[in-house]
Amino acid sequence: MSAHPGSTLALDAEALYVELLRGVRPLVEAGTRLVGIVSGGQWLVERMQVDLGLPGAPGAISSAMHRDDFAKRGLAASSQTTLPFDIDGADVLLLDDVLYTGRTVRAVLNELFDYGRPARVRLAVLVDRGGRQLPVAAEFAAARVALPAAQSLRLARGDDGVFSFSITERT
């Protein structure tokens, strides 16, 4: 799938969530811990934890403190890391909404290792839009799309919990 300037890319976020759930199910083993990247990935794991019937609470991890553009972006009030389990020796499955350059994943890995040394870390995403600047790959992506660099793809969650996407022009 691709979107060109002036065209519309229709992505059904709910259908992609069902595909992500299907793809993640075989990756989850006894003891696997779900950790969502704030904010879209956090929304995904909150719902997925329930849909998979997993005990306990999922983790949420922020990239804010380890971003290479921290001076420009700053620290958002909503971007707090919460890991309600021990990271040492854990099998961690990171989830995010959109994988693009790989810089957020790099920052999140640095944050994760501040909390301990996991046995394994894997990544699953709702959408892989290509454009990698770092050697980062998802173990599973519900969809792969091509967007111009000038466009930004964002996951939104309505008050009813329903997911949707918006595509905006970067400023």
pLDDT in tens, 45-55: 999 999 999 99
pLDDT at 1: 57
pLDDT at 10: 78
Q: How much is the mean pLDDT over the chain? A: 90
- Are 103 and 134 contacting, i.e. CB atoms less than 8 angstroms apart? yes
> Considering the domain 13-169 in this protein, what is its CATH number?
3.40.50.2020
Domain borders along the chain are 13-169
> Is the per-residue pLDDT at 35 higher than 80?
yes
> Is the per-residue pLDDT at 159 higher than 80?
yes
pLDDT at 171: 72
| DSSP strand pairing (163-169 vs 151-157) | antiparallel
Distance CA 77, CA 60 (A): 14
Query: Who has greater pLDDT, 107 or 8?
Result: 107
Buried b (16+ CB within 10 A) or exposed e, 87-102: beebbbbbbbbbbbeb
Q: Grade residue 7 by pLDDT with cuts at 50, 70 and 90.
A: very low
Helix H or strand E segment including 16: helix 13-24
pLDDT at 76: 59
Distance CA 123, CA 104 (A): 12
